[in-house]
Amino acid sequence: MAKAMAFVLINADLGAEEELVRELRNTENVKEVYVVYGVYDIVAKVEADTMEKVKETITWKIRRLDKVRSTLTMIVVNPDVEEASPHSGS
């Protein structure tokens, strides 16, 4: 399992979502990509061996794509916890 993970919420240029999804799916360390409705257009899951590699992927690869207008990154605190529930009783 990856040691570092983040979800990147992406605002795309109008009508560029599908093109961006194709580019993101071919980007190293991008593991999942979804077009979504709401404030953001795309959600991408980034995983790598180190947090430095995750940050490099976001800063130098995702944010530099031509059709990306803005991003919001959410760093996963503990990627080793598959399912955490506040009601699990543990």
Determine the distance from the C-alpha atom of residue 46 to the mean position of all C-alpha atoms in its chain, rounded to a whole number: 5
> CA separation (Å) from 77 to 24, 42, 80, 81, 82?
23, 21, 9, 9, 12
pLDDT in tens, 40-59: 999 999 999 999 999 999 99
The proportion of the chain whose per-residue pLDDT surpasses 90, expressed as a percent, equals 82
Domains for the chain: give ranges and CATH numbers: 4-75 (3.30.70.920)
Q: What integer pLDDT is reported at residue 78 of this predicted model?
A: 82
Question: Which residue has tokens 């999942």?
Answer: 32
Residue of 18, 43, 19 lying closest to 32 (CA atoms): 43
pLDDT in tens, the chain (90 residues): 558 999 999 999 999 999 999 999 999 999 999 999 999 999 999 999 999 999 999 999 999 999 999 999 999 998 676 655 555 554
